Structure 1
Amino acid sequence: MSSCHTSTQVDLKNHSDKIKLVLVGNPNVGKSVFFNALTGIYVDVSNFPGTTVDISHGVYKNYVVLDTPGVYGVSSFNDEERVARDVILDGDIILNVVDAVHMDRDLFLTQQLIDMGKRVIVALNMMDDVKRNGLQIDVKKLSELLGVPVIPTVAVNKQGIKELKNTLETASTGNSISGIKELMKSIMPKVSNPAEALLVLEEDENIIERNHIKEKYPYREKIYLQRRKRVNEIVNSVVTETTNGASFKTRLSQLMLKPLTGIPILLLTLFIMYQFLGVFIAQTVVGITEEIIMGTYYNDSIMSIFGPLVKGYDFLEKFLVGEFGILTMVPIYILGLLLPLVIGFYFLLSILEDSGYLPRIATLVDRVLTKLGLNGRAIIPIILGFGCVTMATITTRILGSKRERFIATMLLGLAIPCSAQLGVIAGMISAVGPVYFTVYITTIILVFVLAGTLLNQVMPGESTDLLIDIPPLRMPRVKNVLSKTYTKSMAFLKEASPLFVIGAVLITFMDHFGILLSIQNAIAPLTEGFLKLPKEVATAFIMGIVRRDFGAAGLFKLAEDGMLNAAQTLISLVVITLFVPCIAAILVIFKERSWKESLLIWFGSMFIAFLVGGMLAFVLV
């Protein structure tokens, strides 16, 4: 069958007798240096028909050399990938440039090129970085496992370039993953070459349409997982770690990834974060912003201006300047109590992100999270959940299966307090002493672990493998950290303010017409009898449905007024932490998950929250 796409689709009429040598690699691996080394000044640039993507091509001996956009795989998700795919399909030899330090990432593309049946030669570039990163690579064994020539290079210094040039004709088809050729047999009569047959198996819609294939071949996920497993096996076989010649950052990175040293480093990091957020921000800073600036100066000004105007108008007075007033409680809670906590959390999170430590945490906890039905990548939405559960729920899309996304969403909605709620909790729990603090932390972790373990046992399937790129460690850039902190804090203000106003109006309405008192009396057997808490705590729980930090702030007020003793403070904080997600989060959960799953998360959280709170009350009160 003849090919349904034109030859390379760039103007190569004058080079039709030459071998097409195609440069392929991930972004930023140094392909342009190889292209320049091969073609020199004999370079032309053509616009790929139907796109804005330019293709550089030139001549080297009896080869016409074509550069391609940097891609992570041969597919058709955007113009760059479609152009790279079509040039690769028409190429005779593929020069695959691989970053030696990030082979776990780059070899996925290498193995795909081999699976396509292409003649491949690998330029293992940036070998000078290998030693600095505390690595040793068995290049000979790598070549044997891949089944293609592998030439170590440092392209910017022209090291290995001459050997590469002399070895181009030895490019070979390599060792494809097990079983792939058998799957391709049934497709071969319908396409023009093995490469297209593989792309049909990998559900490339353009190739399927181009070859007028009607049958379904849903093998992409299976092939990708098998290819990833194969790449991991190769990397584990040829790469070893060493401290000889490694920089301090590299040695520190290695220590962060090993459980024996990585766990103490992580615990130290969490302790520093607690001291900054739970002690300095929640107690010292909030003491100034909430009690002095907003609670005294702002509140007194508002009361002196609006108090006389609304005096005698009972509902209006409650609505504007009452206990839940939109001019009193709302700005005091948002600006005085919550905003400093949110800024503090996002400042810490931005440091973790910008330093490159966050993916190292993911790698470190991968084995633990696997027991909960997740993999290390789930640490990203979990950590983001401490900022905002709503955003973290959306981020669960990065997880590899529907099963993992449900487990992560359930654990986020159940046991992860958002930043503002966490700050209030930290401030309250630190005030009742280390014993209750330890009980709180232990309880929440136990619920998190038991819930995840149970879901992992009862839900069919297994957790997927961890696929994550680990960037180099670096000092966080002040500009980046401040920019991320500002952007995310402003997003919090925009999201939280309307919901707080709605919550204040709702609570004021319910309080004015006696609905709040009726609810308190109705669930008094639960709050007073089972949880052994004042019935006013029910108001905080209702406020928590509007927004979780709103409910935590309500508990903060009750504690300030002396209505909760130390044990009751602990119980109420455990319940409000495990309580149902706020309205914004639950709406996103309903959007991301099915109705059945979302309702299970909602009612499951409520049931577990009161059950655990009741058990604590039975023991402590």
Structure 2
Amino acid sequence: MSMNHNPVEGMHIPEGAKKIVLAGNPNVGKSVFFNYLTGMYVDVSNFPGTTVDISTGKLGEDVVMDTPGVYGVSSFNDEESVARDIILYADVIVNVVDAVHMERDLFLTQQIIDMGKPVVVALNMMDDVVRNGLEIDVKKLSEELGVEIIPTTATRGEGLLEVKEAISRAKPGNRIAEVKELIDSVIGQVDTESEALLLLEEDENIIERHNILESKQKREHIYKLRRTRVDGIVERCVSQKNSGATLRSKIGKLTLNPLTGIPILIGALYIMYLVIGVFVAQTVVGITEEVIMGGYYNDFIMNTLGTLLSQESFIGKVMVGEFGLFTMVPIYILGLLLPLVVGFYFILSVLEDSGYLPRIAALVDRVLMFFGLNGRAIIPIILGFGCVTVAVITTRLLGSKRERFIATMLLGLAIPCSAQLGVIMGIIAPLGLGYLMLYTGVIFLVFAVTGTVLNKILPGKSTDLLIDLPPLRIPRVGNVLKKTYNKSVMFLKEATPLFIIGALLITVMQYTGALESISDGIAPFTTGFLKLPAETSQAFIMGIVRRDFGAAGLNDLVSRGLMSSSQIIVALVAITLFVPCIASIMVIFKERSIKESIMIWLSSFVLAFLVAGVLAQIIV
């Protein structure tokens, strides 16, 4: 007995609207098609019951939905489960295919066709086809698949209009005959032919959704049939005009070889540091936070609202106090975070569009496996050095809850953000290379040991790295800017409410004296176990508000000559490992469960004092 269950109904699709779904492998350029079809009217939200973001927009009266990049319609992780549910209940599929990697991408195409869905295929990246010396018989390919095939180079806008016009002509394609017979044999157990195919492919979600006790185990057989068909299609429709590796392919191979790839990665990270850590974090933020927001804007607010409200009253503190809704919140978000977020998303979009980001993931995959992560985790780790708050949000791209927990724990514990890192480097530089190596070594050791232990004790197994390595290419400025804009706007929508809540919480704690009580409470640990001045406890508490506030508090103690060199290192280790700032904490509670979030918060608190205390007993 089947039960009609449509998860897409939870996404508020207007009645009567067709669901036009973009589907394809990772890094095939779906976002360009989505932006073209929907224009600026885009909504980004979590898919019901998951942390996976789904973009939706309007095309006339119909709804366009973008799906996560997947290699097949299945449910091996959250992204694939979301893509499966959206594709299952789509009315039309626009399947974007990388023309250079058809032997891989057409596996998904044929699966969608076997579902009986109306399909239009956008054969994208045709410029790479020319560069790689390939020739594709598009007419023959269309006859083989039984659907309309439109050659495109989306980054140049070529073929986009033709794809849009072809949507109304979408039709089901040529199914594999034996697969169609198998579908007909089980169709009575489910609601649709699409679900029947996934039932045959042993999709656990479909089996559970329809309370099916016994099902035909045909996954391997169907996969072999599909693989054989796709290989035959590619053989008949694709030919090589000339051989020999291009310069880009040679560079691509160099990025994957550890002997050459690691120096290239170090160089890329250094350039990223110069752009984000030096230019944006220091020059741009110096203008936006200190001059524009901290100067002109703050003066305007204090000369208007500040004269109407008593800053000693509770309402005055909430509105225009040190952590006020009209003072700290907009200054912090627009003056500090927004430039950093825009900078990081710009660099990330450049790495993504150039095809280098997947190669970084492949290069570091073996190392991150020791910590229960795969190569994709390098993205939030890199982002964490800019802003841990942003990095926690990007853990959504990891394949399992286990990996997301490990990555979030490591981000909150051992990755200093750029604002904090700048102050730390300023404090530690005069101490010499030896102390810098000691500090770096301790933080890396904590990162490695924590990741290794979590990998050993957490139940389950992390996912393997399944990632496409697209050809290296020069990024398109327009595409990079669109991605940067969309992701930055999404961050503002998600982060602003959290900052407001955090500011209110801190203001209440300050007004009631709770902040001072907490500072007094940890003072005995600071002076006893950590062997630091009592005033250091105040720096730790301010670090909860903003990480760089805590580091700045330590800098003040150092400038007053209240700490020795060894005490400075202990203090810096403690402030780095201490609990994340209030903004990061709020995002962690949003992204993880309450139980996991509390565990991450408490673990950071305990480990910060434990590691710094042990270090103090050794060197102070």
Q: How do 1:166-245 residues align onto structure 2 when only pairs under 5 Å count? A: 197-202=196-201, 214-216=211-213, 245=244
Tell me which of 481, 491, 500 is aligned to 1:498: 500
Separation of aligned partners in 2, 1:198 and 1:331: 51
User: How much has 1:390 moved relative to structure 2?
Assistant: 3.9
Tell me which of 136, 140, 145 is aligned to 1:154: 136
Q: How do 1:94-105 residues align onto structure 2 when only pairs under 5 Å count? A: 99=98, 101-103=100-102, 105=104
Describe the shift of the 1:426–1:287 C-alpha distance in structure 2 as closer, same or farther (beyond 3 A): farther
Describe the shift of the 1:521–1:164 C-alpha distance in structure 2 as closer, same or farther (beyond 3 A): closer
Verify the 8 A CA contact 1:362 1:376 in the aligned structure 2.
yes
Amino acid at match of 1:509: Y
User: How much has 1:609 moved relative to structure 2?
Assistant: 1.2
Query: Which position in structure 1 is the counterpart of 2:269?
Result: 270
Verify the 8 A CA contact 1:319 1:508 in the aligned structure 2.
no
Q: How do 1:215-614 residues align onto structure 2 when only pairs under 5 Å count? A: 215-216=212-213, 245-280=244-279, 344-430=343-429, 432-479=431-478, 481=480, 491=491, 494=496, 498=500, 501-502=503-504, 505-506=507-508, 508-509=510-511, 516-559=515-558, 563-564=562-563, 566-614=565-613
Verify the 8 A CA contact 1:499 1:547 in the aligned structure 2.
no
Verify the 8 A CA contact 1:282 1:424 in the aligned structure 2.
no
Amino acid at match of 1:538: S
Separation of aligned partners in 2, 1:335 and 1:110: 43
User: How much has 1:132 moved relative to structure 2?
Assistant: 4.3
Name structure 1 gaps, 5 residues minimum.
1-23, 30-50, 55-69, 88-95, 118-123, 135-151, 166-170
Verify the 8 A CA contact 2:372 2:462 in the aligned structure 1.
yes
Separation of aligned partners in 2, 1:552 and 1:219: 61
Q: TM-score, normalised by structure 1?
A: 0.62
Which stretch shifts more, 309-318 or 456-465?
309-318
**Identity value in percent:** 59
Please give the secondary structure, in 2, of the residue aligned with 1:102. helix
Separation of aligned partners in 2, 1:340 and 1:617: 37
Separation of aligned partners in 2, 1:536 and 1:358: 44
Verify the 8 A CA contact 1:500 1:550 in the aligned structure 2.
no
Separation of aligned partners in 2, 1:112 and 1:305: 63
Please give the secondary structure, in 2, of the residue aligned with 1:581. coil
Deviations 1:253-312, CA, capped at 9 Å, x for gaps: 221122221111111222233344445555666677777888899999999999999999
Verify the 8 A CA contact 2:311 2:321 in the aligned structure 1.
no
Separation of aligned partners in 2, 1:206 and 1:604: 34
Q: Give the greater-gyration-radius structure (CA).
A: 1
Amino acid at match of 2:605: M
User: How much has 1:559 moved relative to structure 2?
Assistant: 4.7
User: How much has 1:591 moved relative to structure 2?
Assistant: 4.5
Verify the 8 A CA contact 1:131 1:246 in the aligned structure 2.
no
Describe the shift of the 1:164–1:207 C-alpha distance in structure 2 as closer, same or farther (beyond 3 A): closer
Amino acid at match of 2:137: A
Name structure 2 gaps, 5 residues minimum.
1-21, 30-60, 74-82, 117-122, 147-173, 236-241
Describe the shift of the 1:440–1:128 C-alpha distance in structure 2 as closer, same or farther (beyond 3 A): same
Verify the 8 A CA contact 2:311 2:317 in the aligned structure 1.
no
Verify the 8 A CA contact 1:279 1:426 in the aligned structure 2.
no
Verify the 8 A CA contact 1:350 1:481 in the aligned structure 2.
yes
Separation of aligned partners in 2, 1:128 and 1:312: 62
Separation of aligned partners in 1, 2:417 and 2:486: 17
Please give the secondary structure, in 2, of the residue aligned with 1:604. helix
Alignment RMSD, CA only? 6.0
User: How much has 1:444 moved relative to structure 2?
Assistant: 2.2
Amino acid at match of 2:600: I
Separation of aligned partners in 2, 1:411 and 1:223: 38
Amino acid at match of 2:100: V
Verify the 8 A CA contact 2:276 2:386 in the aligned structure 1.
no
Please give the secondary structure, in 2, of the residue aligned with 1:272. helix
Verify the 8 A CA contact 1:114 1:175 in the aligned structure 2.
no
Query: Which position in structure 2 is the counterpart of 1:77?
Result: 85
Describe the shift of the 1:594–1:193 C-alpha distance in structure 2 as closer, same or farther (beyond 3 A): closer
Please give the secondary structure, in 2, of the residue aligned with 1:109. helix
Query: Which position in structure 1 is the counterpart of 2:49?
Result: none
Describe the shift of the 1:597–1:335 C-alpha distance in structure 2 as closer, same or farther (beyond 3 A): closer
Verify the 8 A CA contact 1:363 1:376 in the aligned structure 2.
yes
Verify the 8 A CA contact 2:362 2:375 in the aligned structure 1.
yes
Deviations 1:520-562, CA, capped at 9 Å, x for gaps: 4432221122223232222232233344444345445555555
Describe the shift of the 1:200–1:563 C-alpha distance in structure 2 as closer, same or farther (beyond 3 A): same
Verify the 8 A CA contact 1:126 1:153 in the aligned structure 2.
no
Amino acid at match of 1:77: D
Please give the secondary structure, in 2, of the residue aligned with 1:77. helix
Separation of aligned partners in 2, 1:566 and 1:485: 42
Deviations 1:348-387, CA, capped at 9 Å, x for gaps: 4443334332222112111111221121122233334344
Separation of aligned partners in 2, 1:563 and 1:346: 40
Deviations 1:480-504, CA, capped at 9 Å, x for gaps: 5556556666756846863674476
Separation of aligned partners in 1, 2:556 and 2:213: 61
User: How much has 1:250 moved relative to structure 2?
Assistant: 2.4
Please give the secondary structure, in 2, of the residue aligned with 1:533. coil
Separation of aligned partners in 1, 2:205 and 2:567: 62
Which stretch shifts more, 398-407 or 385-394?
385-394
Verify the 8 A CA contact 1:256 1:262 in the aligned structure 2.
yes
Verify the 8 A CA contact 2:88 2:194 in the aligned structure 1.
no
Please give the secondary structure, in 2, of the residue aligned with 1:470. coil
Verify the 8 A CA contact 1:541 1:551 in the aligned structure 2.
yes
Amino acid at match of 2:136: V
Verify the 8 A CA contact 2:515 2:541 in the aligned structure 1.
no
Separation of aligned partners in 1, 2:330 and 2:559: 18
Which stretch shifts more, 464-473 or 544-553?
544-553
Separation of aligned partners in 2, 1:457 and 1:103: 39
Describe the shift of the 1:401–1:499 C-alpha distance in structure 2 as closer, same or farther (beyond 3 A): closer
Separation of aligned partners in 2, 1:611 and 1:290: 35
Please give the secondary structure, in 1, of the residue aligned with 2:538. helix
Please give the secondary structure, in 2, of the residue aligned with 1:383. helix
Verify the 8 A CA contact 1:352 1:358 in the aligned structure 2.
yes
Amino acid at match of 1:474: R
Q: TM-score, normalised by structure 2?
A: 0.62
Separation of aligned partners in 2, 1:392 and 1:527: 30
Separation of aligned partners in 2, 1:317 and 1:76: 51
Describe the shift of the 1:102–1:25 C-alpha distance in structure 2 as closer, same or farther (beyond 3 A): farther
Separation of aligned partners in 2, 1:81 and 1:301: 53
Separation of aligned partners in 1, 2:559 and 2:501: 24
Query: Which position in structure 1 is the counterpart of 2:6?
Result: none
Separation of aligned partners in 1, 2:379 and 2:271: 19
